[in-house]
């Protein structure tokens, strides 16, 4: 299942993010802002618990998030979305998954893993700007489930039908939130029209 967030502010910022003339400084800022909008939507059903706080005038009945949240960026581009989540949920814990796509086989290869212990009921948020072939995302979801994760959502900025289908084939219980479902993958497995290489654009490496 995927949810495409079509809010005008998201789509406006996405138009700037796509633009080839957008430099890495603005690209990072836009990726962070879009991530916040996507997570705002993705977390609207997160469990809360009632609390009573004292205001300057009286006691107030309020609510606070009542579940452990773990953010898992897929290296390296997922790091560009991390601050967007942490600004929204600063109490979240963070894990990291390092995967790259083999140039010949196009399959994900794991090179790094550092995950917090999963507490019962914890919500894992996997973030990666581009959900292209879906291989790295699906592999990350498999690893998280094997590590004890019970509730997982994926937040990506841009995806395509092929990537969404690949994730749904193996993990149809995991919702995917995106700002856009683009047309297709090209022969190099790049999303079209996409963003280009999100990692390079985030970190100014090309």
User: pLDDT at position 13, please?
Assistant: 96
Set 105, 172, 188, 206: catalytic member: 105
Using pLDDT thresholds of 50, 70 and 90, give the confidence band for residue 102: confident
pTM across the whole model: 0.92
Rounded to the nearest integer, the mean pLDDT of the chain is: 93
**What is the rounded CA–CA span in Å between residue 139 and residue 145?**
10
Which range has the worst mean pLDDT, 21-30, 66-75, 99-108? 99-108
68 is known as an active-site residue = no
Please give the average per-residue pLDDT across 48-60, as a whole number: 96
83 is known as an active-site residue = no
Contact between 22 and 33 under an 8 Å Cβ cutoff? The reply is no
User: pLDDT at position 108, please?
Assistant: 82
User: At residue 37, does pLDDT exceed 80?
Assistant: yes
User: pLDDT at position 131, please?
Assistant: 95
Structural domain boundaries enclosing 44: 2-203
182 is known as an active-site residue = no
Set 68, 83, 93, 200: catalytic member: 200
Set 67, 93, 101, 113: catalytic member: 101
User: pLDDT at position 189, please?
Assistant: 87
**CATH code, 145:** 3.40.50.2020
Using pLDDT thresholds of 50, 70 and 90, give the confidence band for residue 54: very high
200 is known as an active-site residue = yes
First to last CA, the chain: 34
Domain tally for the chain? 1
Bond before 192 cis per omega within 30 degrees: no
User: pLDDT at position 202, please?
Assistant: 92
Give strand pairing partners of 177: 3, 155
Using pLDDT thresholds of 50, 70 and 90, give the confidence band for residue 101: confident
Strands (DSSP E) found in 27-107: 48-54, 59-65, 69-75, 93-94, 96-101
Using pLDDT thresholds of 50, 70 and 90, give the confidence band for residue 1: confident
């Amino acid at each position: 299942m995927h949810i495409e967030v079509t809010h005008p502010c998201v789509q406006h910022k996405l138009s700037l993010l796509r633009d080839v003339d957008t430099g890495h400084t603005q690209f990072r800022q836009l990726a962070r802002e879009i991530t916040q909008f996507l997570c705002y939507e993705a977390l609207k059903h997160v469990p809360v618990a009632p609390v009573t706080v004292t205001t300057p005038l009286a006691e107030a009945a309020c609510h606070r998030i009542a579940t452990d949240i773990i953010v898992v960026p897929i290296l390296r581009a997922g790091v560009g979305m991390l601050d967007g989540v942490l600004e929204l949920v600063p109490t979240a814990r963070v894990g990291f998954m390092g995967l790259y796509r083999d140039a010949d086989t196009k399959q994900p290869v794991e090179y790094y893993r550092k995950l917090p212990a999963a507490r019962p009921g914890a919500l894992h948020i996997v973030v990666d700007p581009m959900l292209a072939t879906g291989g790295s995302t699906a592999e990350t979801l498999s690893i998280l489930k094997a590590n004890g994760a019970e509730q997982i959502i994926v937040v990506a900025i841009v995806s395509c039908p092929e990537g969404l289908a690949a994730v749904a084939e193996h993990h149809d219980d995991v919702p995917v939130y995106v700002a856009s479902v683009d047309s297709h993958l090209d022969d190099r497995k790049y999303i079209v029209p996409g963003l280009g290489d999100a990692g390079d654009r985030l970190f100014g490496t090309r």
